[in-house]
Amino acid sequence: MTFKIALQTIPLILLALLAIAILIPACAPNPDTAARTKEYKAALSSTKEGSTATASTESVMAFSTFLQKIGDKEYVRENTAKVYSKDAYLNDTLVTHHGPDEIMAYFLETADTMSSYEITIDDTVSSGSEHYIRWTMVFSAPRLNGGKPVESCGVSHVRFGADGKVLMHQDFWDAGTNIYGQIPVLGGVIESIRRRFEK
């Protein structure tokens, strides 16, 4: 093989490898949305009796403060068990965890991936034992968006136990755009799909 043919072949090989890297994950099974909905409804059902009819302002504030300090690993270590009950359920649209040990490990791992993190509490609304905290999050992670800030709005649905600790924490936010959409190559595919729906 001549040097010229080798130079012409290398880009084709790289293109083929890129196509394989894109297509293999695309062939993975689709998320089971029914199972995820069922899991959330099971968490609602299992925490209904244990949740207090009205949580104290201090409980809502403690949870809101915890959200604002997820990027502070020392704070997370010291406060997760103070904020989440021993049987707590957490689903942040990406993963599900149970109990303060799992939740703390997850938040510590998340903090390790971020170079900056800021969350602003925009509003809180309570309806009986249901509490909704609306927030705006701005974070940076070297592997997302070229390390530039990513901004997202979301809502946390929370229930508290009689001890004032979180029994259930379900987040609602656009992880597709704000996490998966920031990953090189995959982000371009997601944005292309989004644009087609806008037409």
What's the rounded Cα separation, in Å, for the pair 136 and 153?
4
Q: In the chain, what are the domain boundaries?
A: 32-173
User: In the numeric block, which tokens belong to residue 77?
Assistant: 């270590």
DSSP assignment of 9-74: HHHHHHHHHHHHHHHHHHTSPPP-HHHHHHHHHHHHHHHHTTB-SS--HHHHHHHHHHHHTTT-HH
32-173 in CATH: which number? 3.10.450.50
Higher pLDDT, 15 or 36: 36
Whole-model pTM?
Answer: 0.73
DSSP assignment of 104-140: HHHHHHHHHH-SEEEEEEEEEEEETTEEEEEEEEEEE
Higher pLDDT, 136 or 47: 136
Measure CA 119 to chain center.
13
Task: Give the model's pLDDT for residue 135.
Answer: 94
Q: pLDDT (tens digit, 9 = 90+) per residue, 115-125?
A: 899 999 999 99
Q: Is the pLDDT of residue 187 over 90?
A: no
